[in-house]
Amino acid sequence: MKLILLPLVILKYMVEQVCLGHFPGFDFGMLKTKSRLERRLYYAIRHKYKGKIKAQYPCGPYSIDFALPKYKLALECDGNGYFSQKRVKYRRRDEYLKKHGWKVMRFTGNRLKHQLDETVNEITEYTTKMDLYKWPFTR
């Protein structure tokens, strides 16, 4: 991305956040998102997992939309393309990630648009459960 366009992109993302009902803020993780759908999820969880969430996280030959490496949790945002020929490709990626110890959560665009709170709750419940499960073993 050209540096001269950066202020315009930041302004666009700030307006986008306000339109989605979030307090506007900026961090460089936003610049790594590939779609508005991904940013919708990012805006919803970034404060809870500040500094822990990684956008476009590399894992072997694949890139995870959002990763919480501490929990080995991969969050994937699936647009309309998920239900076409890409489904087999995504299945292979999920198998690879699971084989390497990752938990994969996939969310459709429709779910991210209409059930965002439930989606965030599902992520939070999983990470809370992992914190409770690991607590006696990490001290």
pLDDT in tens, 1-16: 566 777 788 778 778 8
What residues contact 45, with CB distance under 8 A and at least 6 apart?
A: 53, 66, 120, 123
pTM metric for this prediction: 0.82
CA distances to 28, 36, 65, 67, 121 from 17, in Å: 15, 10, 19, 21, 20
Instruction: Return the exposure string of 12-43: e unless at least 16 CB atoms fall within 10 Å of the residue's CB, then b.
Output: ebbebbeeeebeeeeeebbeebeeebbbbbbb
Q: For residues 103-120, give the mean pLDDT.
A: 94
Residue 39 CA neighbour count, 13 Å, CB half? 25
Most distant CA pair in the chain, distance: 50
Domain boundaries, the chain: 28-137
Query: What CATH code would you report for 28-137?
Result: 3.40.960.10
pLDDT in tens, 54-106: 999 999 999 999 999 999 999 999 876 555 556 778 889 999 999 999 999 99
* Residue 2 one-letter amino acid: K
139: pLDDT confidence band, cut at 50, 70 and 90? very low
